Amino acid sequence: MASKVWIAAVVVVAIVAWFAGYYSRAPAAQTATVVTTYSETATTTYSTTVTTTYLTTVTTTTTVVVRYYPITVVDALNRTLQIAAEPARVVSLAPSITQMLVALGLCSRIVGLDQFSYQLLKELNYTSCLPADAEVVKINAMSPTGFNGDAIILLKPDLVLADSGFEAMWAKDIRKLG
């Protein structure tokens, strides 16, 4: 048993000696190497771009002339009529026709109108669209003496527009006007 203790003591002394020698040693000299690399790069680029653009515009103008006249129409009495040229001077003998002429922007062509059409335009504040020389033709379509063909002829109209009731009553007199 003494030999085991002796062996254990030797092992402990050896371990302690080893640790003591390890920590008592002077540090070994260390060498540090510092490497510095210096690099310089310069790039010079010259570039010239020339762009030439040629633009050619070709404009073609085509004038289309639409001719509406002469025009053939069928009236309220089922008669075929030909209107040779665009009417510039119009006599309107019915408020409904006068309203349509105004709505179509043709008020400036009205040179004569019946008193009922004029009253309608007055109430609607549209009399200013009439030409300065427009005349109110006193016509009572329901009266046998109400037709005033001479007053209409004096206005030199290109077109006289009336409703079918007026034309039916005064068809013979209207035909005399031409």
Which CATH number is 106's domain given?
3.40.50.1980
**Residue 171's domain spans which residues?**
87-177
- Report which of 157, 162, 174 is spatially closest to residue 97, judged by C-alpha positions: 162
Q: Is residue 51 part of a domain?
A: no
Q: Which range has highest mean pLDDT (9-23, 64-78, 116-130)?
A: 116-130
Burial zone of 112 (CB within 10 Å; 0-12 exposed, 13-18 middle, 19+ buried): buried
Question: Can you tell me the distance from the alpha carbon of 117 to that of 119, in angstroms, rounded to the nearest whole number?
Answer: 5
- Residue 173: which residues within 8 A CB-CB, separation 6 or more? 147, 149
Asked if residue 114 belongs to a domain, the reply is yes
102 and 129 Cβ atoms separated by less than 8 Å = yes
Structure tokens at 152: 């209409």
Q: How far apart are CA 119 and CA 136, in angstroms?
A: 10
Residue at 52 is within a domain? no
For tokens 């309608």, what's the residue? 120
Count of domains for the chain:
1
Best mean pLDDT range from 99-108, 122-131, 135-144: 99-108
Predicted pLDDT of residue 9: 62
Distance, in Å, from the CA atom of 113 to the CA atom of 176, rounded to the nearest integer, reads: 20
On whether the CB atoms of residues 140 and 151 are closer than 8 A, the answer is no
pTM comes to 0.57
Question: Does 108 reside within a domain?
Answer: yes
Nearest to 177 by CA among 158, 150, 147: 150
Residue with tokens 């020389």: 133
Q: Could you tell me which residue, 58 or 113, shows the higher pLDDT?
A: 113
How would you classify the pairing of strands 110-114 and 90-92?
parallel
What pLDDT score was predicted for residue 135?
84
125 within some domain: yes
Q: At residue 155, what is the residue type?
A: L
- The answer to whether residue 77 sits within a structural domain is no
Query: In 3D, which of 124, 121, 116 has the Cα closest to residue 165?
Result: 116
Residue 77, number of CB atoms within 10 A of its CB: 10
- 70 lies in some domain: no
Q: Report CA 86 to chain centroid distance, whole Å.
A: 32
Q: What is the average pLDDT across 103-111?
A: 93
Is residue 119, in this structure, part of any structural domain at all? yes
pLDDT of residue 99: 92
Q: How confident is the model at residue 6 (pLDDT cuts 50, 70, 90)?
A: low
